[in-house]
Amino acid sequence: MLSFLILSLVLGGLFAVLLVSLALSLSRARIELPPNAPTRLLEALGEAGRAAPRAARKGRPLVVCLGDSITHGVLSANYVALLEARLPEWSFSNGGVNSELAYNLAARLDDAIALDPEAVTVLIGSNDANATFGLKSALGYYALHKLPERPNLLFFRENLTLIVRRLKKESRARIALLSIPPIGEDPKHYAWLRTEEYAQAIKDIAKEEGVEYLPLRERLCAYLESVPAGRAIPFERFGQAQNRAARSRLLLGKSFDEIAAANGFHVLVDGIHLNTHGAAIIADLIEGFLRGAAK
């Protein structure tokens, strides 16, 4: 009896250690910067390379892809990796950071600018929109990022405009803004309509500032209109779905497409992030922008 009790305690302890280890692995994966993040590329260049980054690249042009988790590519299919595979003549820097708003991106442009890239793409705003869905969501983002005010559309516009103007003033890069994907796949839901407002703001800013506009939302919505309506999980379960998707992907090795299908989505994984089809649409748009820039 005593030996059974001891064995149970040992096994229970090992299981607890395993759970903690898995949780830590999941946490690290969520916050760890990609190996080709702007900060890491600058560190790799050294002092001489930082003084003349374009010369250090020896004629291989650099694209910095700025954004949030959709760009980071751990919780969402990695479109930057798709671009690297498609365009080996270009170098790519993944400037995505999970959960960030335009305010956070505006505060970390220095490293991207210091790389003196030939092109910069910006895909930001999903978290800005998501932060407006009730007080709990707003307070969560407010506390996490120490925001100066409650997230709203005007706050987003101000920060995205600041991002574009800094890039125009302090870099020689061609700039492209991508509109954000819908949140959820129900065109009648207020989450879909809210992201439409933010996508329109991005389009307006691109026109006002004279930079390229890449219609990601329009492409995704056109695709969704062409396929049968799915039986997606309801909006109220998106938060749970995001945590479950992260565990399924990072701990169980499930593909983004498998998780998307289990949740009833065509292009979204968990209501906000993209599966491989959605990521491929982003890559298509950016590839077209870059090939046009090369002409």
Give whole-number Cα distances, 254 to 85, 249, 274, in Å.
22, 5, 14
What ranges do the domains of the chain cover?
Answer: 36-236+276-294
Cα–Cα nearest to 117, from 42, 180, 179, 213? 42
Q: 119-123 and 212-214: which strand pairing?
A: unpaired
Q: Which amino acid is located at 40 in the chain? A: R
Per-residue model confidence (pLDDT) at position 30: 53
End-to-end CA separation in angstroms for the chain:
79
Cβ neighbours, 10 Å, residue 189: 16
Mean pLDDT for the stretch of residues 43-70: 91
Residues 6+ apart with CB under 8 A from 295: none
- CA contacts within 13 A on the Cβ side of 151: 30
Overall fold of domain 36-236+276-294: Rossmann fold (3.40.50)
Tokens of 271: 């209501």
State the pLDDT at residue 244: 94
Closest by CA to 286, choosing from 160, 172, 176, 166, is: 176
How far apart, in Å, are the Cα atoms of 25 and each of 22, 146, 182, 285?
5, 25, 29, 33
More confident residue, 99 or 2: 99
Query: How confident is the prediction for the chain on average, in pLDDT?
Result: 89
Give the C-alpha separation, 263 to 266, whole Å.
9
Distance separating alpha carbons of residues 80 and 58, to the nearest angstrom: 21
| 14-18, 55-59, 102-106, 109-113: least confidently modelled range | 14-18
Average pLDDT on 129-143 reads 90
pLDDT of residue 251: 87
Q: What per-residue confidence (pLDDT) applies to 147?
A: 94
User: pLDDT tens digits for 196-222?
Assistant: 999 999 999 999 999 999 999 999 999
The span from the CA of 210 to the CA of 217, in Å, is: 20
The span from the CA of 198 to the CA of 105, in Å, is: 16
Distance CA(126)–CA(195), nearest Å, equals: 7
Structure tokens at 9: 């305690």
Query: Residue 40 burial by CB count (10 A; 0-12/13-18/19+): exposed, middle or buried?
Result: middle
State the burial class of residue 207 (Cβ atoms within 10 Å of its Cβ: 0-12, 13-18, 19+): exposed
Query: How far is the C-alpha of 189 from the C-alpha of 93, rounded, in Å?
Result: 35
Alpha carbon separation from 133 to 2, 72, 200, 240 (Å, rounded)? 54, 23, 18, 15
Give the highest mean pLDDT range of 32-36, 81-85, 146-150. 81-85
Q: Rounded mean pLDDT of 11-33? A: 45
